[in-house]
Amino acid sequence: MPELPEVETVRRGMLPYLEGQTVARVRVNRPDLRIPFPPDLKERLEGAHFVTLRRRSKYILMDTDRDDTVLLHLGMSGRITLTGAKDERPAYGKHDHVVLETRRGDQMIFTDPRRFGMLTLYPTDTESDHALLRDIGPEPLGNSFNESDFVRALKGRRSPMKAVLLDQKTVAGLGNIYVAEALWRAGINPKRRADQLAKARAQSLVPIIRTVLEDAIASGGSTLRDYVGVSGELGYFQHKFDVYGREGEPCRRAGCGGTVTRITQSGRSTFYCPACQT
DNA sequence: CGGCCAACCTGTGCGC
DNA sequence: TGCGCACAGGTTGGCC
């Protein structure tokens, strides 16, 4: 499910259930997802309470009052479901790997069929050294993402723009969908080498990336084949896609008349309009 | 070091 | 109905 807008949608959905709440019980149904669960997860979490829920790139970070932070990544197919104490409890499915129950009786269920997701725990003050977080680039919705740094980040990069934007070191949080949408809005060909993109065009991408992500968050993210919200709500940004998944359909740019095309780049589908993306 | 690709998994949809 | 294949929103480790 998850690029930045979907992860942010999930984080916001989690807030009312988890922020300020105490963990009563942790259930772990298997030893690992992409990385092992910490063996002492249960002991470290039970009795702790969540002070803040943050997001960094596609990670959700849950700070506890015990100076530990829970790090959560949804991978390709990860989902978070929250059920209130009074709600009907759906039976656990075979891909429900971790369940947190709060003292109030709410449950957070982490489901992930493909198991590319992760959940781990680290001492909050070691965050800047954390291997999963330390090399991530600027947050596109924050002030640290700006034209001059972005232009510098493209310098000397011989890879196609698609690959460079997918690289979380360039800018945090983009994935296959939002790279395609941002490049279309900017009129940039995904095959264009980063070091051959004119400075002004590179600069134009900065506000475009920001707005495409903000637009998607405002729509509750994109729902491709499942729900995105923590209570099963559907995002609807997929109805606003200009290129992603629109192979063979007409380009939406006024007066363009081109056809959206699908190619493969670094093993993944790229959608773009060869007529207006140069 | 930069860049590419395979690998990690399961589920779904489509053609035959 | 079943089978095989292509494909899916991500990340990374190993290789050149």
Q: Is the CB of A191 under 7 A from strand B?
A: no
Residue A178 and residue A271: Cα distance in Å, rounded? 11
With 80 as the cut, is the pLDDT of residue A1 above it? no
Q: What is the DSSP string of A96-160?
A: EEEEEEETTS-EEEEE-SS---EEEEEEGGGGGG-TTTTT----TTSTT--HHHHHHHHTT--SB
Separation in Å: B7 C1' and A85 CA: 40
* pLDDT digit string, tens, across residues A126-182: 999 999 999 999 999 988 999 999 999 999 999 999 999 999 999 999 999 999 999
Residue A71 and residue A59: Cα distance in Å, rounded? 7
Separation in Å: C6 C1' and A113 CA: 19
Separation in Å: C2 C1' and A231 CA: 36
Consecutive H or E run containing A17: helix A4-18
Q: Is the CB of A196 under 7 A from strand B?
A: no
Strand B contact residues in chain A (104-123), C-beta within 7 Å: 113-116
* pLDDT digit string, tens, across residues A80-98: 999 998 888 778 999 999 9
Smallest Cα–C1' distance to nucleotide B9: which residue has it? A114
| Confidence (pTM) | 0.97
Pull the structure tokens for residue A115.
């198991």
Q: Own/partner pairs for A246-251, CB < 8 Å, 24+ apart?
A: A246/A271, A247/A271, A251/A275, A251/A276
Q: Is the CB of A222 under 7 A from strand C?
A: yes
Please, are residues A77 and A1 in contact by the beta-carbon 8 Å criterion? yes
* pLDDT digit string, tens, across residues A37-54: 999 999 999 999 999 999
Nucleotide nearest to A167 (CA to C1'): C11
Longest dimension (CA), chain A: 61
The residues of A annotated as belonging to the active site are 2-3, 58, 268
Separation in Å: C3 C1' and A96 CA: 29
